[in-house]
């Protein structure tokens, strides 16, 4: 129950469900349920071995996680100070900044974070104080509730309301409006149903303890959005009809204040972002034009608001795309591909749904428009652009109103974080989620909201943040997390390089893929030109290719244009240039092009070709055949064809006497095309 699943886990679980239905059929008897349990258990163990985020900062959850790998060794309930978790033989982990390439250069580029402190306007400050006072009063009323679960639910709803207040005028206005409308509906229902009775029954809502709220911090964005929508508009500390009427009246006043701020157009937070996008040298390059940018927010209302305002600022709505938890997985992947490959798309506005298994390292700039209350989210967001393949220094701007109560705590955190980042070469990001174990950041921020006007509370909060980011403590965490401290010997490194070079020599050479694709793509009506050596820009993909790709339904969607493509992996990234899409077997653009060429010119292929082996001085004719070995998934693709999941090609040569031999992995590399005279000499 402690574990949360990501999109990838959901895919696997969905496939396992289909597998069980087809394998067992109908109702599962006890024996078959046992067999299915063992099957899924083995599947889970394999999944855990490839996870990128095994530790969420809580040791007891980590032990539950490891119990799935070794139930006997990690059996029993975790008790702090009693249990120790030794996983040195189960996992290997190194912090990003310690990883090196073969030549000794860092695998990951440098990353820098900046704090953008802005001051609220007079109207915004008035709204902030009014809503915060409402939240404080409701927290105090919630403390008087007898039900601990209901108390936690009301506290969660008030926390979300405060976070939306800090997000944008649009978000707080819409939230107050929806909350007022839902509570009015409940008031009317209770009056009609209960007539003279005044005591309100508890609403049918999820009940949250502190542990539940901690777990919810690590939940997928779509799940968080669903729970927030269910709770924030309905959870109230009102116990009587009279108390509910008073709260609704207060919400009407706050809603009117939020409407006035919204209509005034005053939004200092947006002004800071607009200024960054227009004046910052990193965001606007004189040679390359506008750099690609990722903007993270926490709320759907703010996302829609930013989408509209950024599109207006840039003057071209097609330059802005969005990702949020309400989108299907396929839609998110399509937006991700557009952001990476379409030169006309420059800004991605996203909720934390884009922090779950999505690769955004086409950009190296990011803005946290809303700061998450879970420090794990900070690193997760930064990791979307700071990943393998990134060649540029990554820059992150955190927008914070330092004069607000929660802003004071976060400003202290960000300032301290920057000091430790410089002292520890950026490694502090790798253990950020494990720093607030004694006092979770969420609880510190709630305390600041409720009692932040008191100097003693402010001093205590500052001390808690300083202690969490104490340099020696951070260094100890880094040492404990860096389990793989040993390095490879020189002999092992050379052996590994030889294996990699041997594998590269045996694969289909990029030159042949490139020469085929360029010829075939132009033949089909595509427009492509070389921009840098070995790197090309596609300005137009023919409709026939895009339509066929949609029919095939395999992999990401084929776009109408690509900023850069390449055929050799080392050319994917070039200093100061856009990242290129790697075109190789399996990419839908290449596969669809091959599909159309085969359809239109299969008769030519059936005739075969005449090649000459320059190392053979004889004149005898030999025949070269290839054998295709394929494995197909039983589940059909969209076009009802079988889905190809593995394919190998083997070459066999037969001489004039009928002798058969293995021709090797790629014999055609040693041959050359025959001349007209040579072709005539071998005609029947």
Largest distance between two CA atoms of the chain:
109
pLDDT of residue 81: 57
> What pLDDT is recorded for position 2?
36
Give the residue, 229 or 137, on which the prediction is more confident: 137
The Cα 432–Cα 224 span in angstroms is 21
pLDDT at 27: 47
Q: Given this model, what pLDDT does residue 205 score?
A: 67
Average pLDDT over residues 54-78: 67
The whole-angstrom separation of Cα 54 and Cα 62 is: 7
Distance CA 258, CA 137 (A): 19
Q: How many CB atoms lie within 10 A of CB 395?
A: 21
Instruction: Check whether 420 has a pLDDT greater than 50.
Output: yes
How much is the pTM?
A: 0.74
With H, G, I as helix, E, B as strand and everything else as coil, classify residue 631.
strand
DSSP label of 150: H
pLDDT in tens, 325-367: 888 888 888 898 889 888 889 999 998 887 666 788 888 999 9
Please tell me which of 383-387, 534-538, 625-629 the model is most confident about, judged by mean pLDDT: 534-538
pLDDT digits (tens, 9 = 90+) for 637-676: 666 777 777 778 889 999 989 999 998 877 887 889 899 8
CA 597 to chain centre: 36
Q: Which of 67-71, 243-247, 355-359 has the largest mean confidence?
A: 243-247
Model confidence band, residue 90 (pLDDT cutoffs 50, 70, 90): low
Instruction: Confirm if 430 and 97 have CB atoms less than 8 A apart.
Output: yes
CA distance 159 to 663: 69
Give the per-residue pLDDT at 644: 76
Where does the pLDDT of residue 144 fall: very low under 50, low under 70, confident under 90, or very high at 90 and above? confident
Q: How confident is the model at residue 8 (pLDDT cuts 50, 70, 90)?
A: very low
261-273 per-position pLDDT tens digit: 999 988 999 999 9
Q: How far is Cα 369 from Cα 170, in angstroms, rounded to an integer?
A: 14
pLDDT (tens digit per residue) in 182-221: 888 888 887 777 655 667 777 666 666 666 666 666 666 6
Residue 299 CB contacts under 8 Å (≥ 6 apart), including other chains: 163, 164, 167, 168, 171, 351, 370
How far apart are alpha carbons 210 and 149 in whole angstroms? 9
Q: 564-588: buried (b, 16+ CB within 10 Å) or exposed (e) per residue?
A: bbbbbeebbbbeeebbbbbbbeebb
Asked if pLDDT for residue 527 goes beyond 70, the answer is yes
Q: What is the mean predicted confidence (pLDDT) over 147-171?
A: 84
What is the DSSP annotation of 326-358?
TS-HHHHHHHHHHHHH-TT--EEEE-GGGGSS-
Residue 356 has a pLDDT of 64
Q: Is the Cβ–Cβ distance between 338 and 268 less than 8 Å?
A: no
Average predicted confidence (pLDDT) for the chain: 80
Q: Is 640 left (phi over 0), alpha (psi -120 to 50) or beta?
A: left
Residue 569: is its pLDDT beyond 60? yes
pLDDT given for residue 509 in this prediction = 75
- Binned at pLDDT 50, 70 and 90, residue 76 comes out as low
pLDDT at 452 over 50: yes
Q: Out of 281-295, 376-390, 442-456, which region has the weakest mean confidence (pLDDT)?
A: 281-295
């Amino acid at each position: 129950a402690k574990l949360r699943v990501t999109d990838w886990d959901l895919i696997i679980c969905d496939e396992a469900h289909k597998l069980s239905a087809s394998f067992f059929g109908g109702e599962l008897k006890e024996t078959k349920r046992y067999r299915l349990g063992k099957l899924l258990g083995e599947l889970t163990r394999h999944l855990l071995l490839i996870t990128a985020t095994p530790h969420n900062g809580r040791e007891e959850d980590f032990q539950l996680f490891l119990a799935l790998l070794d139930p006997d060794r990690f059996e029993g309930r975790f008790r702090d100070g009693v249990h120790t978790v030794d996983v040195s033989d189960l996992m290997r982990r190194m912090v990003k900044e310690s990883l090196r390439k073969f030549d000794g250069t860092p695998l990951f580029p440098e990353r820098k974070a900046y704090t953008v402190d802005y001051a609220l306007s007079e109207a915004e400050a008035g709204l902030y104080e009014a809503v915060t006072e409402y939240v404080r009063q409701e927290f105090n009323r919630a403390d008087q509730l007898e039900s601990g679960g209901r108390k936690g639910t009301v506290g969660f709803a008030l926390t979300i309301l405060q976070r939306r207040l800090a997000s944008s005028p649009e978000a707080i206005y819409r939230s107050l409006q929806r909350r007022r409308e839902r509570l009015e509906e409940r008031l009317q229902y209770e009056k009609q149903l209960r007539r003279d009775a005044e005591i309100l029954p508890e609403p049918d809502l999820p009940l949250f303890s502190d542990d539940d709220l901690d777990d919810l911090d690590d939940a997928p964005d779509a799940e968080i959005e669903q729970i927030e929508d269910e709770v924030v508009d309905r959870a109230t500390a009102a116990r009587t009809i009279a108390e509910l009427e008073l709260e609704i009246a207060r919400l009407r006043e706050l809603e009117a204040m939020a409407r006035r701020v919204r209509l005034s157009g005053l939004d200092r937070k947006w002004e800071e972002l607009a200024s960054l996008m227009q004046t910052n040298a990193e965001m606007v390059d004189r040679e390359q034009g506008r750099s690609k940018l990722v903007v993270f927010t926490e709320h759907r209302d703010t996302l829609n608001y930013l989408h509209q305002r950024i599109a207006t600022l840039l003057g071209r709505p097609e330059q802005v795309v969005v990702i949020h938890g309400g989108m299907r997985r396929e839609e998110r992947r399509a937006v991700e591909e557009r952001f990476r490959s379409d030169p006309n798309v420059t800004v991605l506005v996203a909720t934390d749904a884009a922090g779950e298994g999505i690769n955004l390292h086409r950009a190296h700039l990011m803005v946290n428009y809303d700061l998450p209350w879970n420090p794990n989210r900070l690193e997760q967001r930064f990791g979307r652009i700071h990943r393998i393949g990134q060649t540029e220094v990554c820059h992150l701007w955190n927008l914070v109103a330092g004069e607000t109560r929660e802003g004071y705590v976060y400003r202290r955190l960000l300032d301290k974080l920057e000091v430790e980042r410089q002292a520890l070469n950026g490694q502090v990001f790798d253990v950020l989620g494990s720093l607030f174990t004694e006092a979770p950041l969420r609880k510190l921020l709630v305390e600041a909201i409720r009692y932040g006007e008191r100097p003693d509370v402010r001093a205590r909060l500052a001390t808690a943040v300083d202690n969490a980011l104490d340099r020696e403590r951070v260094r100890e965490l880094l040492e404990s997390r860096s389990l793989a401290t040993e390095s490879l010997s020189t002999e092992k490194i050379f052996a590994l390089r030889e294996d990699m070079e041997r594998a590269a020599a045996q694969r289909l050479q990029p030159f042949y893929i490139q020469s085929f694709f360029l010829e075939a793509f132009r033949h089909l009506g595509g427009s492509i030109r070389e921009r840098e050596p070995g790197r090309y820009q596609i300005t137009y993909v023919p409709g026939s290719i895009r339509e066929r790709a949609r029919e095939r339904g395999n992999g990401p969607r084929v776009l109408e244009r690509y900023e850069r493509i390449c055929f050799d992996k080392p050319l994917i990234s070039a200093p100061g240039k856009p990242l290129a899409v790697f075109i190789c077997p399996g990419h839908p653009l290449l596969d669809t092009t091959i599909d159309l060429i085969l359809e239109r010119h299969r008769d030519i292929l059936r005739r075969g070709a005449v090649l000459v082996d320059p190392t053979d001085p004889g004149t005898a004719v030999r025949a070269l055949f290839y054998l295709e070995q394929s494995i197909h998934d039983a589940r059909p693709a969209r076009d009802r064809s079988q889905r190809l999941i593995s394919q190998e090609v083997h070459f066999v040569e037969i001489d004039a006497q009928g002798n058969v031999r293995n021709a090797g992995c790629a014999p055609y590399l040693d041959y050359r095309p025959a001349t007209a005279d040579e072709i005539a000499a071998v005609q029947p």
